[in-house]
Chains A and B, each alone.
Chain A
């Protein structure tokens, strides 16, 4: 289903529905396999992507994701950028606390996803959307 895509180019995917979250998972897995991540690291980054894609859909009102294969000369990796133009996050520290949720979830999405990746960067503020960049490197 994912054969024939050029993984050297960033892969974009809209997040508008439930099914798109599934597509994001499959896309991230394909890229992670190509970047030669170990099975556990693949699982971690796909799980993190699933959490963040759902956040983009539920809290950001939909948005988009871009998945890129990384190569810093020594290690390969996967970088995923989630962007939405939703309400943004007013209190970031609170949002990153385990168990905190405004949407009736378990409150592990953001904080849990952060633990599953190597680099986690979030750019947000009340009223200006949210942009989350995560990177997972091959060991």
Chain B
């Protein structure tokens, strides 16, 4: 079975799906990604689907699940590069990908992640990764 590679770029994990995934490959990616988010402590995940010529309900559900899992693990997920034909088909299919943030390309996706965490730089987040409020950290 093929495995989709996950790249770490700075504070962000980049997944560029280049193959026509079987359902097993999709589920594997979901698992791999959850592990990598924890092991790298990344706060952002970009899933680049520029190369995908279709997204069916299974892949759609995988994207939603990844977004939910990463949210629980304190990481922001952005799906980037969806082709127009794919978007039109998804609308017709009735899949709205609720809860998923999207951007036109990787660059915009990175901006989106940076904007979502304006107060954190990659260097200091390990000092208060339990909570966003410094006061609580101080009193603890």
Contacts and interface: CB of A to CB of B under 8 A. Distances in A.
Interface of A: 18-19, 21-22, 25-26, 29, 39-40, 42-44, 46-47, 50-51, 54, 98, 105-106, 108-109, 111-113, 115-116
A43 B53 CA distance: 7
Contact of B20 (A22, A39, A105, A108): A22
B85 A43 contact: yes
Given A43-B53, A47-B93, A115-B94, A106 B20 contact: no
B89 interface: yes
A50 B93 contact: no
A18 B22 contact: yes
Interface in B53-84: 53-58, 60-61, 83-84
Interface string B1-14: 00000000000000
Contacts of B23: 18, 21, 54
Interface size class of B (residues with CB under 8 A): 20 to 34
Interface of B: 20-24, 53-58, 60-61, 83-86, 88-89, 92-95
B61 to A, nearest CB: 6
Given A18-B22, A21-B23, A51-B57, A108 B93 contact: yes
B88 A40 contact: yes
Nearest to A17: B22
Contact of A18 (B24, B54, B56): B24
A30 B137 CA distance: 59
9 contacts: A22-B20, A29-B53, A39-B85, A40-B89, A44-B88, A44-B92, A46-B54, A47-B56, A51-B93
A83 to B, nearest CB: 20
A108 B57 contact: yes
B95 A106 contact: yes
A22 B75 CA distance: 31
Contacts of A51: 56-57, 93
Of A26, A51, A98, A112, chain B has the most CB atoms within 10 Å of the CB of A112
Contacts of B84: 40
Contacts of A26: 20
A43 B86 CA distance: 7
Nearest to A25: B20
B91 to A, nearest CB: 10
Contacts of B88: 40, 43-44
Contacts of A42: 85
Nearest to A46: B54
A106 B89 contact: no
